[in-house]
Amino acid sequence: MAKLARCLVGGTFDRFHAGHKALLLAGLDAADFVEVWIANDQMSSHKSEFIQSFEHRRANILDWADERISTHELSDNFGPATHREDCDGIICTPETLPTCNRINETRLKSGLTPLEIIEAPHILDQSGTIISSSRIRAGTIDSNGGLWLGEQIRKQIHHFVPSLDEELKQPMGDLHSGPEDMPDVAMTSALQDCSTGALVAVGDVCVATLLEMEITPDIALIDGQTKRIELVDKVDIEAFDILLSAVNPAGKITPELIDSIEIALASETSTCIEVDGEEDLAPIIIHLLGPIGTNVIYGQPNQGVVLQITDKETKVRCKDILSKFEVR
């Protein structure tokens, strides 16, 4: 088959991933040039508030592309495909094939030659599911389709090693300072910087402070202790819709804790996980399993509270930290 001159492809192209690359490579195999039409911010905003900006998405494509690919702003569902006479192909996935067929119907009515449709196959992730931007935003996979927390890892007990002590003493996120006897000061500051994602509070003092402020976190993890001393005044767990429990001894991350966090993240109502042991290492798992934009707040002894919003960089760091734990 003779090579096409110029192919068009449209989409949101959020979290530029292996599936996007396969789509564009299919276009380059079929045509000399590929025009990538990227949905602008107005078009893409209704899909998710965590979609990257138009300029960010364009830059990700250009960082990967060669001179045969150009990028353009898409402001409607069809773009220029219905009327361009200098293009002879269009690239699609199985989901967007009906749109391409409608484009060709419009072209025929206008007396134009239909575009040759190049349908690119889906790329599957590590679990055998289609790689998609939504799954990346949901925090399940990375841009290459790798699971942030694989099935084998979930079944293992991870033991803290002393070599990680200094690294984990450093706040994973932004420290919001406040007097120890007035924890609401630091908490108020942290809440002002939260995204619109779920709010996860780790530690009895953090959870109690939020409840006293009449804020029920989406997820709470408590162990009945502060600074490893048993609390006299326990957290009011009746404030939560769902109560879970998990055995997780100090210095360990157990499959039971991982499962409980996964259940809590999937819940649409407030959930409290009562940990028999310690919940100090739970943020590592929360970030690995949580969607992009999840707000994780935990206490920093004698200083205030730390807020870390889940993003790709945090997931990479947590995966690296977990890989250094001993598995026995």
Judged against a pLDDT cut of 50, whether residue 232 lies above it is answered with no
Alpha carbon distance 82, 100 (integer Å)? 9
Q: Would you state the structure tokens that stand for residue 66, as one six-digit string?
A: 């060669």
What pLDDT score was predicted for residue 230?
A: 60
Q: Which tens digit of pLDDT belongs to each residue from 267-294?
A: 999 999 999 999 999 999 999 999 999 9
C-alpha atoms less than 13 angstroms from C-alpha of 176 in its C-beta half-sphere: 22
Who's near 106: CB < 8 A, 6+ residues apart?
78, 82
Alpha carbon distance 207, 215 (integer Å)? 9
Helix (H) or strand (E) holding 192: helix 183-192
Whole-number Cα distances in Å, 236 to 71, 190, 219: 54, 22, 14
Alpha carbon distance 268, 180 (integer Å)? 32
Average pLDDT over residues 120-129: 93
Q: In order of start, what are the domains of the chain with their CATH numbers?
A: 4-137 (3.40.50.620), 151-327 (no CATH)
The maximal CA–CA distance of the chain, rounded, in angstroms, is 80
Judged against a pLDDT cut of 80, whether residue 2 lies above it is answered with no
Average pLDDT over residues 177-186: 92
Least confident of 13-17, 95-99, 163-167, 312-316: 163-167
**% of the chain exceeding 90 in pLDDT:** 88
What residues are paired with 2 via a beta bridge?
A: none
For the chain, the distance separating the N- and C-terminal CA atoms, rounded to the nearest angstrom, is 57
Alpha carbon distance 230, 241 (integer Å)? 25
- ∠ at Cα 254 (249, 258), nearest 5°? 125
Judged against a pLDDT cut of 60, whether residue 19 lies above it is answered with yes
Alpha carbon distance 97, 101 (integer Å)? 6
pTM of the model: 0.91
- Smallest CA-to-CA distance from 294 within 188, 198, 184, 178 is with 198
Q: Would you state the structure tokens that stand for residue 288, as one six-digit string?
A: 């690995």
Pair 219, 243: CB distance under 8 Å: no
What pLDDT score was predicted for residue 194?
A: 97
